[in-house]
Structure 1
Amino acid sequence: MLVEGRVYLSDALREQLGEDDSLQQLRDVACLPGAFKHVVGLPDMHSGFGMPIGGVLATDAESGVVSAGAVGMDINCGVRLLATDIEAAELSAKTLRQLMLSLETRIPTGIGKKSPQGELRGNLAREVLTLGAKAVVMQGYGNANDLALTEENGTLPGADPSSLTKAAQERVGQLSTLGGGNHFLEFCVVQKVLDSEVASSFSLRQGTLAVLIHSGSRGLGHQTCTDFSKLMLLAAPRYGINLPSKGLAAVPIQSSEGQCYLSAMACAVNYAFANRQLMAHAVREVLREVLNVPPHEVRQVYDVAHNIAKFEEHFGQKVLVHRKGATRALPPQHAQNPEPYKQSGHPALLPGSMATGSYVVVGTPLLSETFFSVNHGAGRSMSRSLARKSISESELYGSLGSTLVSARNMRSIIDEAPAAYKDIDAVSAVLADIGMTRLVARLKPLAVIKGEDEA
C-alpha cells in the first residue's frame, strides 16, 4: 500500500460485510501510483468492479493515474430531487397509480430501451455530449435554475465526442430513459424534517410530495468504461504500472490514454445530466397533466453524481478525485456551493431501498478527511445473484408495505428487494454521529417505478 485506508463503518456494518472482499479491494486501490493522502471506504461500502462501491480515491493531478474501474460502469449515475407543495396525504393510491402510468408513457424503463425523443444526430448529439443538461434546457426542457442546482451546473468541461469509441458513439440513443438495475423514479413524501432551517432553504416541507430520479449515462457510460478498461489494461505495462487487479486498470493522467478517457468520461457525465434533466421535465409534465400543478412549482432541490472523476483541490494540492458510489457534499461556505446553498452546503442525496426511505444530508468541514464525500445510499447487503436465490416473490411483496411499485414482472426485480440492501438509517447515522454530516430530512417512498433487467 502506498497510502493508508480509512473506512467509516459501525461495528454492525463491519460485521455485515462478512466475506465481502471490499476491504481487500480498498487495499488494492491504495497501491495505485500517485494515490494521495489516503483512500476512503464509506458506510455503504460493498464489493464492486475493481474499486469497492462506496470508495474514494484521489490521485496527484500531475504524477498520478486515472482508472476507469475506479469511476465505474455507469458513469455519472446520480440522483435528482424535486420538491413540491403538494400535500402527499391528499393523494389516493389511484392518483399515485395514474402518475406512474402517465410517466411510463414518457420514460421508457428497463435495459436497452431507446429515447422517446428519437435518435440524437449531428449538432444536437454533439451539444448533449459537450454541454450536458444545458443542451436540453436550451431546447426548452427545464430552466436556468435547474442548471444552477446541478453539480457542475450540469456540464463537465473537457468533453470531446471524438474521444468516444465507435461502439460508445452508437449508444447515444437512450436519452430520457430510466434503465434497469437499481435505477428508479420515485414519488415520495417528506416524512420527517430533521433540520428545519436547512430543509426550508431546500424547499422541503414535512408532509409534501417530492420526486427522486436515479439514473445515469445508460449504455454510453457502460460502453465507455468497458472499452477504456480494456485499453488501460493493455497500456499499463508500457508505463511501468503493476496493477493490483484487472478491475483497477489505470494509466497516467497525463498520458494520451488518460486524457482520452477523461474526455470520453466527460461526454458520458454530460449525457447523464441531460438524461436526468429530460426525465425531470417529464415529471413536471405529468404533474401538470394529472394534478394541474404548474411546472415552476416543481422545484429542483439538487442533482448530484455518484460515479465520477473530477479535478479538485484538497489539502492544498490539485488531485483527481474518483468517486465510485460516493457523493460529493461540500460544507457551508465552500466556494463551489451554488449561491442558494452557500450558508448550508448543497444537498447530498442518499437513497435507501424501494420500501424503506432516503435521506437528504449536508456535509460539514470535517468531511475534508473524505475529500468531501459521503455514501451514495444504503449499499447492498447481498449480491444480486444471492438475492435472486434467497428472496421469494412473496417475501418481496410482503416487504413493500404500502409502497406502490410499478414493474411488469416483479420477479425480475427481486434483486432490488429491501432485504438486499443495508439499513439506510444505520448507514446514514455513521457519518452523522461523528459530526461529518447533518441529517436534513427523511423521505419515504409512496410509488416507485422500476425498470426490468431484461432488454
Structure 2
Amino acid sequence: MDLHLLEKVNDTEWRIPPHGPMRVPGVLFADETLLREMDSKVYEQLCNVAGLPGIVEAAYAMPDAHWGYGFPIGGVAAFDPREGGVISAGGVGFDISCGVRTLHTGLKRAAVEKHKETLAAVLYNSIPAGVGSTGSIRLSAREMDAMLEGGARWAVEQGYGEAADLERTEEHGCMAGADTTRVSVRAKERQKREMGTLGSGNHYLEVQQVVAVYDEAAAGAYGLAVGDVVVSIHCGSRGLGHQIGTEYLKEMAVAAARHGITLADRELACAPLESDIGRAYLGAMRAGINCALANRQILTHLTRRAFGHVLPEARLDLLFDVSHNTCKEENHRVAGRDRRLFVHRKGATRAFGPGHPSLPPELRVAGQPVIIGGSMGTGSYILAGAGDGGERAFASACHGAGRSMSRHQATRQWRGGEVVKELASRGILIRSTSLRGVAEEAPGAYKDVGAVVDAAHAAGLAKKVARLEPMVCIKG
C-alpha cells in the first residue's frame, strides 16, 4: 500500500481523509511494515465502505486486513438504522460466524507429548474434515429449524456438551432474532449432513501449548499458565452460511437501485436495515450464526470424546468462543451519546473491555477473551478486550494472521508433503485429508501473526495475554 495516501496519526493508526463519495474517514490500525505489505485493494475497499449510507464514525481495517469480497477481510463498520443505515452481506462474509473456541485440557505439555501420535490419530479419525465433509448427524426439517433457532443451546439440549459451555460463548450460545423462514431450502439442504464437521480452507482443530504469558492478571482470570495444553477449534457455518451469503448478495445487488443506493462495487451489495430485504437477511444471518455456534459445540463434544479415549484425565472446559463474520446490534457511545448500531465485523473479533455486562462474572474483570488464530505452523494468541467502556473501533480487534498471498500462489511455492515433513521436524503433527490444502495453508502464505498482534496491542484494540504454539493440527 502507498503510505502517501494516508495520514499518520501515530505508529499504529493511519487515516484516510474523506474524499469523493466517502461519508466518514477510513482508519487503518497497523504498523508501517504491515501497511507497506498490505495489498492496495484494502485502501480501495475501505474507501468504498466509508461511502455507504448511515455509516457511523469511520470505516476501520484491522492489522490483519487483506482484500475480501466487498469489504476487506479485517473490516469493521457500524450503521445507524435511524439514519438510513444499511446491512451488507459482503460486510459479513460467506462463512457466517466463522469463529474460534479454546478449551482447557487441565494437562501440561509433558503429559500430552508422550501420547501425541495416538492423540493425533484419534482426533483425525473423530473429526470430519475436508471439502464437502459430512458427519454422522442427519437433521430432519424440524430438527434443522430447531438448530437454526437454538444454536449451541440446541446442541447442548441434544447431549452435545454442557450447560456451562453456554456461559463461555458469545450470545450465551444462541443469537436472538433468527428467522428460519428466511433461510432457503437449498441452504438447509446443504447443511443437512454437515453438522459437526470442520470443513476446509483455514479451518482447523489444534492441540496447543501455552509458551508465553504477557499479562499475569488476565491469564489468571482465564486460567492460563505457561506449559498448559489447550485445544482450539476454528470453523463456521459451512454450506448453509455460504448459501445464505450467495443468495442475499444477488438479491441486494438487484434491489440497491430501488432503494436509491449507488454501489461503488457490486460486491458491496447492501440494503437498508429497515427494508424488507434488510430484515430478511438479518433473520437468515442470525440463523447462520446459530448454525456455526451449534457446529462448534458438536465438534467440542467430539473432541472431548476423542480425548477420553487417549487422555481420560483431560477435562476440556471451555475458555471462550468468539465469532468473526457477523453483524450484531449493539449499543456504543459515539461523540458523547449512546447509539444503537449494527456493527459489521468481517474477519474481525468482538473485543468487549473489562466490566462489560455480557461477560461471565469470572471473566469480567479481565475483559473478553479474544482468540487470534495463526497458521498451522505458527503461534496463536489469547488477547483481552481493552477499553473500560471506551473501546476502539466499536470494541473490535483482529482475528488472525491474515493471508499474504493467494491459495494459488501458495500451491506454486510449496508442496503439502514437504510442509508436513518440515513441521514434523519441529514437533508439530499435521493430519489432513488434502496435501493440496496443506500447501494452500502453508505458514509462509500468512502474515507474521506476532506483528499483527503487537500492532493490535499497541493500538489499544486488545491487550496481549498469552501465546500458544501448535502440537497437533487437524486440517481439512
How far is the alpha carbon of 1:368 from its aligned partner?
A: 2.2
Q: Deviations over 1:262-290 (max 9, x none)?
A: 00001110010000001111111111111
Task: Find the residue that maps to 1:281 and give its secondary structure.
Answer: helix
How far is the alpha carbon of 1:200 from its aligned partner?
A: 1.7
Which residue pairs with 2:378 in the alignment? 356
Which residue pairs with 2:139 in the alignment? 120
Which residue pairs with 2:9 in the alignment? none
Given that 1:108 and 1:116 are in contact with CA atoms closer than 8 Å, whether structure 2 keeps it comes out as no
1:406 aligns with 2:431: yes
Q: Deviations over 1:16-48 (max 9, x none)?
A: 11x441111111111111111111000000000
Q: TM-score of the superposition, structure 2-length normalised?
A: 0.91
1:186 aligns with 2:211: no
User: What does 1:18-37 align with in structure 2 at a 5 Å threshold?
Assistant: 19-37=39-57
- Of the three residues 256, 261, 276, the one matched with 2:296 is 276
Which residue pairs with 1:334 in the alignment? 356
Given that 2:370 and 2:382 are in contact with CA atoms closer than 8 Å, whether structure 1 keeps it comes out as yes
CA distance in structure 1 between the partners assigned to 2:125 and 2:428 by the alignment: 21
Which residue pairs with 1:234 in the alignment? 254
One-letter amino acid of the counterpart of residue 361, structure 1: L
Which residue pairs with 2:120 in the alignment? 100
1:421 aligns with 2:446: yes
1:299 aligns with 2:320: no
Task: Find the residue that maps to 2:466 and give its secondary structure.
Answer: strand
1:148 aligns with 2:171: no
User: What does 1:279-290 align with in structure 2 at a 5 Å threshold?
Assistant: 279-290=299-310
1:267 aligns with 2:292: no
How far is the alpha carbon of 1:327 from its aligned partner?
A: 0.1
1:312 aligns with 2:340: no
Gaps of at least 5 residues in structure 2 are 1-21
Task: Find the residue that maps to 2:402 and give its secondary structure.
Answer: coil
Q: Structure 1 residues 377, 399: CA separation in 2 closer, same or farther (over 3 Å shift)?
A: farther
One-letter amino acid of the counterpart of residue 111, structure 1: V
Q: Structure 1 residues 446, 30: CA separation in 2 closer, same or farther (over 3 Å shift)?
A: same
Q: How many residues align?
A: 446
- Of the three residues 173, 183, 196, the one matched with 1:164 is 183
Task: Find the residue that maps to 2:52 and give its secondary structure.
Answer: coil
Task: Find the residue that maps to 1:50 and give its secondary structure.
Answer: coil
Given that 1:399 and 1:418 are in contact with CA atoms closer than 8 Å, whether structure 2 keeps it comes out as no
Question: Runs of 4+ in structure 1 displaced over 6 angstroms?
Answer: none
User: What does 1:370-449 align with in structure 2 at a 5 Å threshold?
Assistant: 370-393=393-416, 396-397=419-420, 399-400=422-423, 401-449=426-474
Aligned CA-pair RMSD: 1.5
CA distance in structure 1 between the partners assigned to 2:450 and 2:284 by the alignment: 36
CA distance in structure 1 between the partners assigned to 2:395 and 2:410 by the alignment: 32
How far is the alpha carbon of 1:399 from its aligned partner?
A: 4.9
Given that 1:96 and 1:447 are in contact with CA atoms closer than 8 Å, whether structure 2 keeps it comes out as yes
Q: Deviations over 1:75-116 (max 9, x none)?
A: 0000000012211123336x2232222223332101111222
Given that 2:106 and 2:229 are in contact with CA atoms closer than 8 Å, whether structure 1 keeps it comes out as yes
CA distance in structure 1 between the partners assigned to 2:181 and 2:330 by the alignment: 25
Which residue pairs with 2:10 in the alignment? none
Q: TM-score of the superposition, structure 1-length normalised?
A: 0.95
Q: Structure 1 residues 425, 6: CA separation in 2 closer, same or farther (over 3 Å shift)?
A: same
Task: Find the residue that maps to 2:397 and give its secondary structure.
Answer: strand
Given that 2:169 and 2:320 are in contact with CA atoms closer than 8 Å, whether structure 1 keeps it comes out as yes
One-letter amino acid of the counterpart of residue 311, structure 1: E
How far is the alpha carbon of 1:247 from its aligned partner?
A: 1.1
CA distance in structure 2 between the partners assigned to 1:407 and 1:114 by the alignment: 15
Which residue pairs with 1:130 in the alignment? 149
CA distance in structure 2 between the partners assigned to 1:64 and 1:409 by the alignment: 43
Given that 1:107 and 1:116 are in contact with CA atoms closer than 8 Å, whether structure 2 keeps it comes out as no
User: What does 1:68-79 align with in structure 2 at a 5 Å threshold?
Assistant: 68-79=89-100
